[in-house]
Protein backbone atom coordinates (compact mmCIF):
# COMPACT_ATOMS: atom_id res chain seq x y z
CA UNK A 1 0.00 0.00 0.00
CA UNK A 2 1.42 3.35 -1.08
CA UNK A 3 0.34 6.08 1.29
CA UNK A 4 0.92 9.17 -0.82
CA UNK A 5 -1.11 12.13 -2.00
CA UNK A 6 -0.84 15.03 -4.39
CA UNK A 7 -2.96 18.15 -3.96
CA UNK A 8 -3.32 21.07 -6.36
CA UNK A 9 -5.24 24.14 -5.20
CA UNK A 10 -5.77 27.18 -7.41
CA UNK A 11 -7.72 30.24 -6.31
CA UNK A 12 -7.60 33.93 -7.12
CA UNK A 13 -5.29 34.30 -4.11
CA UNK A 14 -2.94 31.31 -4.30
CA UNK A 15 -1.61 28.48 -6.39
CA UNK A 16 -0.45 25.49 -4.33
CA UNK A 17 1.05 22.17 -5.40
CA UNK A 18 1.82 19.75 -2.58
CA UNK A 19 2.89 16.11 -2.45
CA UNK A 20 3.10 14.01 0.70
CA UNK A 21 4.41 10.51 1.36
CA UNK A 22 3.64 9.24 4.85
CA UNK A 23 6.19 6.43 4.74
CA UNK A 24 9.11 8.56 3.70
CA UNK A 25 12.57 9.45 4.89
CA UNK A 26 12.04 13.02 6.03
CA UNK A 27 12.95 14.65 2.73
CA UNK A 28 11.58 18.16 2.28
CA UNK A 29 11.55 20.51 -0.70
CA UNK A 30 9.57 23.52 0.43
CA UNK A 31 9.06 26.84 -1.37
CA UNK A 32 6.23 29.01 -0.06
CA UNK A 33 7.90 32.41 -0.25
CA UNK A 34 7.60 32.64 3.56
CA UNK A 35 10.96 31.73 5.04
CA UNK A 36 9.84 30.86 8.55
CA UNK A 37 6.98 28.73 7.22
CA UNK A 38 9.44 26.86 4.99
CA UNK A 39 11.56 26.24 8.09
CA UNK A 40 8.62 24.86 10.09
CA UNK A 41 7.42 22.60 7.24
CA UNK A 42 10.95 21.29 6.81
CA UNK A 43 10.98 20.43 10.52
CA UNK A 44 7.59 18.73 10.17
CA UNK A 45 8.83 16.54 7.34
CA UNK A 46 12.21 15.80 8.90
CA UNK A 47 10.99 14.88 12.38
CA UNK A 48 7.88 13.04 11.13
CA UNK A 49 9.85 11.13 8.48
CA UNK A 50 7.42 12.32 5.83
CA UNK A 51 8.52 13.23 2.32
CA UNK A 52 6.99 16.62 1.57
CA UNK A 53 7.17 18.87 -1.47
CA UNK A 54 5.44 22.25 -1.52
CA UNK A 55 5.31 24.89 -4.24
CA UNK A 56 3.18 27.84 -3.18
CA UNK A 57 2.61 31.17 -4.84
CA UNK A 58 0.29 33.72 -3.34
CA UNK A 59 -0.59 37.33 -2.79
CA UNK A 60 2.42 38.04 -0.57
CA UNK A 61 2.33 41.65 -1.72
CA UNK A 62 -0.73 41.92 0.56
CA UNK A 63 0.39 39.67 3.41
CA UNK A 64 1.25 36.06 4.16
CA UNK A 65 -2.16 34.94 5.40
CA UNK A 66 -3.66 33.32 2.29
CA UNK A 67 -0.46 31.56 1.25
CA UNK A 68 0.14 30.09 4.70
CA UNK A 69 -3.51 29.14 5.24
CA UNK A 70 -3.94 27.50 1.84
CA UNK A 71 -0.69 25.56 2.26
CA UNK A 72 -2.05 24.02 5.47
CA UNK A 73 -5.44 23.34 3.89
CA UNK A 74 -3.58 21.38 1.21
CA UNK A 75 -1.41 19.64 3.81
CA UNK A 76 -4.51 18.51 5.70
CA UNK A 77 -6.16 17.31 2.51
CA UNK A 78 -3.01 15.42 1.54
CA UNK A 79 -2.84 13.75 4.95
CA UNK A 80 -6.49 12.72 4.71
CA UNK A 81 -6.01 11.38 1.18
CA UNK A 82 -2.81 9.51 2.01
CA UNK A 83 -4.46 7.82 5.00
CA UNK A 84 -7.24 6.42 2.82
CA UNK A 85 -9.80 4.56 4.94
CA UNK A 86 -7.32 4.70 7.87
CA UNK A 87 -7.42 0.93 8.19
CA UNK A 88 -4.66 -0.43 10.43
CA UNK A 89 -3.26 2.87 11.71
CA UNK A 90 -2.31 3.44 15.33
CA UNK A 91 -4.67 6.47 15.27
CA UNK A 92 -3.67 8.37 18.45
CA UNK A 93 -0.29 9.62 19.62
CA UNK A 94 1.32 12.46 21.49
CA UNK A 95 4.75 13.98 21.86
CA UNK A 96 6.52 16.24 24.31
CA UNK A 97 9.32 18.17 22.62
CA UNK A 98 11.78 20.54 24.29
CA UNK A 99 13.58 23.30 22.41
CA UNK A 100 16.10 24.90 24.73
CA UNK A 101 14.00 26.61 27.43
CA UNK A 102 10.64 25.86 25.75
CA UNK A 103 8.53 22.72 26.09
CA UNK A 104 5.54 21.81 23.91
CA UNK A 105 2.99 19.01 23.98
CA UNK A 106 1.09 17.93 20.87
CA UNK A 107 -1.54 15.16 20.87
CA UNK A 108 -3.46 13.90 17.84
CA UNK A 109 -6.35 11.55 17.17
CA UNK A 110 -6.81 10.61 13.50
CA UNK A 111 -10.32 9.36 14.23
CA UNK A 112 -12.01 11.53 11.60
CA UNK A 113 -13.47 14.14 13.94
CA UNK A 114 -11.92 17.56 13.28
CA UNK A 115 -11.23 19.72 16.31
CA UNK A 116 -8.32 21.91 17.36
CA UNK A 117 -7.25 23.22 20.74
CA UNK A 118 -4.21 25.51 20.60
CA UNK A 119 -2.77 26.95 23.80
CA UNK A 120 0.32 29.08 23.22
CA UNK A 121 1.24 32.65 24.01
CA UNK A 122 3.66 34.63 21.85
CA UNK A 123 5.34 37.90 22.76
CA UNK A 124 6.56 38.96 19.32
CA UNK A 125 4.05 39.75 16.55
CA UNK A 126 6.12 38.05 13.84
CA UNK A 127 8.61 35.28 13.32
CA UNK A 128 10.39 36.36 10.17
CA UNK A 129 7.65 36.87 7.59
CA UNK A 130 5.05 34.85 9.50
CA UNK A 131 2.68 36.47 11.98
CA UNK A 132 2.50 34.57 15.25
CA UNK A 133 -1.28 35.12 15.30
CA UNK A 134 -1.47 32.77 12.30
CA UNK A 135 0.02 29.76 14.09
CA UNK A 136 -3.28 28.76 15.71
CA UNK A 137 -5.05 29.13 12.37
CA UNK A 138 -2.51 26.89 10.62
CA UNK A 139 -2.95 24.12 13.18
CA UNK A 140 -6.74 24.56 12.98
CA UNK A 141 -6.73 24.35 9.16
CA UNK A 142 -4.63 21.20 9.33
CA UNK A 143 -7.02 19.64 11.87
CA UNK A 144 -10.14 20.45 9.86
CA UNK A 145 -8.89 19.31 6.47
CA UNK A 146 -6.91 16.37 7.87
CA UNK A 147 -10.01 15.25 9.82
CA UNK A 148 -8.16 14.96 13.10
CA UNK A 149 -8.45 16.00 16.71
CA UNK A 150 -5.37 18.14 17.39
CA UNK A 151 -4.32 19.56 20.74
CA UNK A 152 -1.18 21.69 20.93
CA UNK A 153 0.18 23.46 23.97
CA UNK A 154 3.33 25.33 24.92
CA UNK A 155 3.87 24.44 28.56
CA UNK A 156 6.52 27.10 29.06
CA UNK A 157 9.23 29.03 27.30
CA UNK A 158 10.66 32.50 26.69
CA UNK A 159 11.75 32.60 23.06
CA UNK A 160 8.94 32.60 20.49
CA UNK A 161 11.05 30.89 17.82
CA UNK A 162 11.81 28.07 20.25
CA UNK A 163 8.12 27.76 21.19
CA UNK A 164 7.06 27.49 17.55
CA UNK A 165 9.81 25.03 16.74
CA UNK A 166 8.85 22.83 19.68
CA UNK A 167 5.22 22.87 18.50
CA UNK A 168 6.07 21.81 14.95
CA UNK A 169 8.50 19.12 16.07
CA UNK A 170 5.86 17.87 18.50
CA UNK A 171 3.29 17.83 15.69
CA UNK A 172 5.71 15.88 13.51
CA UNK A 173 6.43 13.26 16.16
CA UNK A 174 2.75 12.87 17.11
CA UNK A 175 1.70 12.47 13.47
CA UNK A 176 4.51 10.00 12.87
CA UNK A 177 3.25 7.88 15.75
CA UNK A 178 -0.44 8.12 14.88
CA UNK A 179 -0.06 7.40 11.15
CA UNK A 180 2.03 4.25 11.66
CA UNK A 181 0.53 0.94 10.69
CA UNK A 182 0.01 -1.53 13.53
CA UNK A 183 0.53 -5.07 12.20
CA UNK A 184 -1.88 -6.40 14.83
CA UNK A 185 -4.77 -4.32 13.49
CA UNK A 186 -6.57 -5.35 10.30
CA UNK A 187 -9.55 -3.01 10.47
CA UNK A 188 -10.11 0.65 11.28
CA UNK A 189 -9.03 1.57 14.82
CA UNK A 190 -12.50 2.12 16.24
CA UNK A 191 -14.75 -0.03 18.39
CA UNK A 192 -17.76 1.25 16.44
CA UNK A 193 -16.26 -0.01 13.19
CA UNK A 194 -16.08 3.29 11.30
CA UNK A 195 -14.10 6.52 11.30
CA UNK A 196 -16.51 8.49 9.11
CA UNK A 197 -17.98 10.57 11.96
Alpha helices in the chain (DSSP H): 35-48, 65-83, 134-146, 160-179
Mean pLDDT, all residues of the chain: 94
Q: 186's torsion region: left (phi>0), alpha (psi -120 to 50) or beta?
A: alpha
pLDDT band at 185 (very low <50, low <70, confident <90, very high): confident
Percent of the chain beyond pLDDT 90? 89
pLDDT of residue 196: 64
Which CATH number is correct for 4-179, 3.40.50.1360, 3.40.50.2000, 3.90.79.10, 3.30.230.40? 3.30.230.40
pLDDT tens for 86-142 read: 999 999 999 999 999 999 999 999 999 999 999 999 999 999 999 999 999 999 999
- The answer, yes or no, to whether residue 191 has pLDDT greater than 90, is no
Backbone angles phi, psi at 98, to 5 degrees: -90, 150
pLDDT of residue 144: 98
State the pairing for strand pair 14-21/51-58: antiparallel
Percent of the chain beyond pLDDT 70? 94
Question: pTM of the full predicted structure?
Answer: 0.94
Task: Give the residue extent of every domain in the chain.
Answer: 4-179
Q: In terms of Cα–Cα distance, which of 178, 184, 185 is closest to 91?
A: 178
pLDDT tens for 166-178 read: 999 999 999 999 9
Amino acid sequence: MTRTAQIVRTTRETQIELTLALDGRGQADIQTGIGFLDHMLTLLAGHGLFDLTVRAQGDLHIDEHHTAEDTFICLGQALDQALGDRRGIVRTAHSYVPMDEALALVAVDLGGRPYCVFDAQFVTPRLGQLGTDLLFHLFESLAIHGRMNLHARVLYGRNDHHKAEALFKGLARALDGATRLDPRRQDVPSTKGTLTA
